Amino acid sequence: MVKLPFVSGQLVLAFGLALTALAAVHAEELSIRLKEAGVTSIKETRFHDFAELDFDLPGEKGVDCKIVSPKTPAPGSPWVWRARFWDHEPDFDTALLKHGYHLVYCSVVELWGSPPAVGRWNKFHALAQKIGLGPKPVLEGMSRGGAIIFNWAKMNPKKVTAIYGDNPLLDLRAFPTSTPEARASRQQCLEYYGITEADLPNFKGSPIDGLEALAAAKVPVFLVLGAKDDVVPITQHADVLEARYKALGGSVRRWVKPDAGHHPHGLHPVDPLVEAVLAVAK
């Protein structure tokens, strides 16, 4: 039997402290670059065991942005761009952080993936390039976050590594109407798109529409779905997108949780999803 060398607890602790120190240096460098790019106020905090920087998008006061740094950034500074519900079911996020990815957020709350949301994300992507993040993030969207990740990707197909949608809202015509709150949200959504209920039957601006450029760019799509989702049912959203995307030559891989509804989000364990995303990112 080969004996492995003994590693003392002190050595392990020292190594961990060294990684933490390196992460702090990297976060400090990012903070300097953000200020050089026009960010005026930055708050340092923590996301689980990782350094987080919070700030407003330059020129848009009150638009919350976040960048979480990995302890050891991977070559090329890759990143995951989370669309919505920060820190909800974070297993995918923390796993990618451990693989050297940054985790990034730019608020488009209640903009429903509309043109104003896409425009805001364009501004943030330009900022991300100024501070040295990679050119092609992995996009992550849960529920209504699915609208912005697909609509932004369709407008920027060469700037996306992969898309992960989790019970995503993908067809405005099938926007939920089961509660007064849902109906109010639907109306708000239509207003941001500049359309009315009468326009919906012929509307071609939902995330499931206009997928040609995205498919041509060979952007892989990963879906995590609850079979019993009655908020954004698979048959009205994910199934439609998958059929259209595959018909255009696009790649879709899905994981369906047979006993899950709209909640909980996430894949448990998350390893198969993480491995699939890392494989296409090579």
pTM score, whole prediction: 0.92
What whole-number distance in Å separates Cα of residue 282 and Cα of residue 278? 7
Q: What is the pLDDT of residues 239-277, one digit of tens each?
A: 999 999 999 999 999 999 999 999 999 999 999 999 999
pLDDT category at 16 given cuts 50, 70, 90 is very low
pLDDT category at 11 given cuts 50, 70, 90 is very low
What whole-number distance in Å separates Cα of residue 84 and Cα of residue 93? 12
Q: What is the pLDDT of residues 210-240, one digit of tens each?
A: 999 999 999 999 999 999 999 999 999 999 9
Query: What is the pairing mode between strands 221-226 and 50-57?
Result: unpaired
What whole-number distance in Å separates Cα of residue 91 and Cα of residue 86? 12
Query: What is the pairing mode between strands 42-47 and 50-57?
Result: antiparallel
Query: How is the chain split into domains, by residue range?
Result: 9-281
pLDDT category at 26 given cuts 50, 70, 90 is confident
The β-bridge partners of 81 are 104, 139
Q: What is the pLDDT of residues 126-158, one digit of tens each?
A: 999 999 999 999 999 999 999 999 999 999 999
What whole-number distance in Å separates Cα of residue 247 and Cα of residue 121? 28
Task: State the architecture of 9-281 in CATH terms.
Answer: 3-Layer(aba) Sandwich (3.40)
pLDDT category at 282 given cuts 50, 70, 90 is confident
CB atoms within 10 A of CB 112: 24
